[in-house]
A = this chain, B = another copy of it.
Amino acid sequence: MSAFVPQESRLEESAPADTEQHPAHRLGWVEDPDHGVRVPVTEVHLEESPGGQPNAPVRVYRTMGPGSVPEEGLAPARAEWIAARDDTETYQARGRQLLDDGRAAVRRGAPSQLWQGRRPEPRRAKPGARVTQMHYARRGEITPEMRYVALREQCDLELVRSEVAAGRAIIPANVNHPESEPMIIGKAFLVKINANIGNSAVTSSIADEVSKLHWAAKWGADTLMDLSTGNDIHTTREWIIRNAPIPIGTVPIYQALEKVDGDANALTWEIYRDTVIEQCEQGVDYMTVHAGVLLRYVPLTAERVTGIVSRGGSIMAGWCLAHHQENFLYTHFDELCEIFAAYDVAFSLGDGLRPGSIADANDAAQFAELDTLAELTRRAWAHDVQVMVEGPGHIPLHKIRENVERQQELCDGAPFYTLGPLVTDIAPGYDHITSAIGATEIARYGTAMLCYVTPKEHLGLPNRDDVKTGVITYKIAAHAADIAKGHPGASARDDALSKARFEFRWRDQFSLGLDPVTAQEFHDETLPAEPAKTAHFCSMCGPKFCSMRISQDIRDTYGSAEAQAAIAGMQRKSEEFLASGGKVYLPEPTVGPSQA
């Protein structure tokens, strides 16, 4: 079904020099020539084994695409597919307004660094049409996006269509983000990770955010959320989307709040709706909507150790309290569904009442909101709108599994998208680790996408290094879960790296790792000399003695017919032994535990 066609030249042509993680990495393509679909992959080239046997290149799922030049943006690769469906049209769009970039822009009369690059003309569904991947899937239609995803996941095309149709997976693909490479989020597929970036009222710039996008995608972020809350929100997002090969998510209430100068009580459905349309036209692929924070749930948080920690959740809770009215996101939810269906924007139903400490985990407020998110999932599906459901947060290890199993049951398998969860509150500065432990556990039981946490969580805004650390840490969690789930081929890269390790192919150990640069730096700290990269020993044991070498001797001695016999014999012995109850038969010790 797919032919592998490496295209090394492609790289030099258009991608920035820093696209690849390592010199041994090359941009390659998996192609489906019959349907004109091709998916970029990273091809890791390996050295020969000591015996001279070649090692086939390892192909790695790639989120960077071919890379882009920030001022130009990416080519609108999906534009043809979207147009060919002939169910969308360009129209007199809302366009950008000065207030969209915040009060500072209004004062200055312009945002800083207006986007000058390539920009597709905004489209939306023709009257009465639904243009979502779920709609096509339910009609039994195979879209190029589905083909692309199947090729990318190396899975069956019908699996993609049926999971999307059932709502158990989503392909976030706004018709106004034709630059994006289709990807799928669902428990039947590889576990995905999201990276959050965004400037704030306190710090950072447009250039920073675009470079964080490139950086996050280079290290493997599958989607990116722009959580900007400061100046130039609209223009920052424009730069990000035009350069994004991955789906972009936002939390529209953040920008709406900026438009009313941070006064939650002044928010209205009209301001929110207008902001959503602004973002639909720009090409945001999924939006976090805190429609499950109902007035009657708010009191449930009063006795918590950490109350409401979700920004969007507390905005809506504050609004509900101030007006003594029901959450307008809930009361206008169907109208929101109609808008999303016209652009194929997916819901990320926000968990505004998620616990902010392990003490508040799995409490009445959290689960009451989940019940409402299940209701909203069905209402969105009634409009053929794609949905994921957001999850916590801070949860002790033994209470994590219940979260995903309960969400999957209540929401009929809609993809779960969780932040961590953090399994302890006592490690500020290390919450990428406390949360990766919980993330691996929750993904193992069916969470489809993990929102990363950086070392700066709870303390400050992530810089480039933090973004990289967060992404790599979450690639570990997602990959460990793929292996635990028995995902087909998930351990191929592990096995290739372990073989390289056993054969002292140091450079291959680096290039097969999630972070070749750091691995090589650490190695060179102890053994800087180039020969050490091929040395048949390492700093742990030194040149005189090496366990790997003895293993090689053993293999030379026993890696043979007689070995097979010996091994078969041992295995039989061991099986008999276990069959017999796995107890070791010994004379009871004269002094034993029984005398304790």
* Chain B residue nearest to A378 in the complex (CB): B589
Q: How far is the CA of A151 from the CA of B309 in the complex (A)?
A: 37
Asked if A513 and B563 sit within 8 Å, CB to CB, the answer is no
Of the residues B398, B458, B592, contact of A444 by C-beta under 8 Å: B398
Of the residues B201, B364, B501, B593, contact of A571 by C-beta under 8 Å: B364
**A567 touches B (CB below 8 Å):** yes
**A440 touches B (CB below 8 Å):** yes
Interface 0/1 of A279-294, CB less than 8 Å to B: 0000000000000000
Question: What residues on B are CB-neighbors of A570 within 8 Å?
Answer: 296-297, 299-300, 364, 368
Interface 0/1 of A101-124, CB less than 8 Å to B: 000000000000000000000000
Asked if A378 and B586 sit within 8 Å, CB to CB, the answer is yes
Of the residues B379, B501, B513, B543, contact of A306 by C-beta under 8 Å: B501
Interface 0/1 of A221-260, CB less than 8 Å to B: 0000000011000000000000000000000000001000
| 8 Å CB interface, A341-380 against B | 356-359, 364, 367-368, 371, 374-375, 378-379
A321, A397, A426, A584: most-surrounded residue (chain B CB, <10 A): A426
Interface 0/1 of A550-573, CB less than 8 Å to B: 111111011100010011001100
**A170 touches B (CB below 8 Å):** no
Asked if A494 and B301 sit within 8 Å, CB to CB, the answer is no
Q: How far is the CA of A285 from the CA of B517 in the complex (A)?
A: 40
**A2 touches B (CB below 8 Å):** no
Asked if A230 and B542 sit within 8 Å, CB to CB, the answer is yes
| 8 Å CB interface, A292-328 against B | 296-311, 313-315, 317-318, 321
Asked if A545 and B359 sit within 8 Å, CB to CB, the answer is no
**A579 touches B (CB below 8 Å):** no
* Chain B residue nearest to A257 in the complex (CB): B545
**A53 touches B (CB below 8 Å):** no
**A142 touches B (CB below 8 Å):** no
Question: What residues on B are CB-neighbors of A413 within 8 Å?
Answer: 593
* Chain B residue nearest to A472 in the complex (CB): B430
Asked if A396 and B315 sit within 8 Å, CB to CB, the answer is no
Q: Which of A20-28, A84-92, A270-278, A475-483 contacts B (4 or more CB under 8 A)?
A: A475-483
**A3 touches B (CB below 8 Å):** no
Q: How far is the CB of A380 from the nearest CB of chain B, in Å?
A: 9
Of the residues B396, B409, B518, B554, contact of A308 by C-beta under 8 Å: B554
Asked if B309 and A201 sit within 8 Å, CB to CB, the answer is no
Of the residues B398, B512, B590, contact of A484 by C-beta under 8 Å: B398
Asked if A359 and B593 sit within 8 Å, CB to CB, the answer is no
Q: How far is the CA of A83 from the CA of B427 in the complex (A)?
A: 42
A367, A379, A434, A540: most-surrounded residue (chain B CB, <10 A): A540
Asked if A540 and B357 sit within 8 Å, CB to CB, the answer is no
**A154 touches B (CB below 8 Å):** no
Question: What residues on B are CB-neighbors of A567 within 8 Å?
Answer: 299-300, 302-303, 364
Asked if B429 and A522 sit within 8 Å, CB to CB, the answer is yes
Asked if B491 and A301 sit within 8 Å, CB to CB, the answer is no
Of the residues B296, B367, B437, contact of A476 by C-beta under 8 Å: B437
Of the residues B311, B491, B541, contact of A229 by C-beta under 8 Å: B541
* Chain B residue nearest to A311 in the complex (CB): B547
**A9 touches B (CB below 8 Å):** no
| 8 Å CB interface, A525-546 against B | 525-527, 538-545
User: How many chain-A residues does the 8 Å CB contact rule pick out?
Assistant: 157
**A188 touches B (CB below 8 Å):** no
Q: How far is the CA of A437 from the CA of B440 in the complex (A)?
A: 7
Q: How far is the CA of A300 from the CA of B571 in the complex (A)?
A: 8
Asked if A318 and B550 sit within 8 Å, CB to CB, the answer is yes
Question: What residues on B are CB-neighbors of A458 within 8 Å?
Answer: 501, 509, 538
**A7 touches B (CB below 8 Å):** no
Q: Which of A161-169, A174-182, A209-217 contacts B (4 or more CB under 8 A)?
A: A161-169
* Chain B residue nearest to A543 in the complex (CB): B201
> Given A305-B498, A429-B515, A547-B309, do A483 and B396 touch, yes or no (CB 8 Å)?
yes
**A1 touches B (CB below 8 Å):** no
Asked if A484 and B429 sit within 8 Å, CB to CB, the answer is no
**A577 touches B (CB below 8 Å):** yes
Q: How far is the CA of A484 from the CA of B429 in the complex (A)?
A: 22
**A493 touches B (CB below 8 Å):** yes
Q: How far is the CB of A255 from the nearest CB of chain B, in Å?
A: 13
| Sample (27) of A-B pairs whose CB atoms are under 8 Å apart | A138-B595, A166-B596, A200-B539, A200-B542, A203-B539, A296-B570, A301-B554, A308-B547, A308-B551, A311-B547, A318-B550, A357-B494, A357-B498, A358-B498, A364-B571, A368-B570, A382-B591, A398-B484, A398-B486, A424-B479, A426-B479, A427-B514, A427-B515, A428-B510, A430-B476, A456-B526, A458-B538
9 nearest CB pairs, A to B: A307-B551, A201-B542, A460-B526, A165-B596, A357-B498, A382-B589, A262-B544, A314-B547, A302-B558
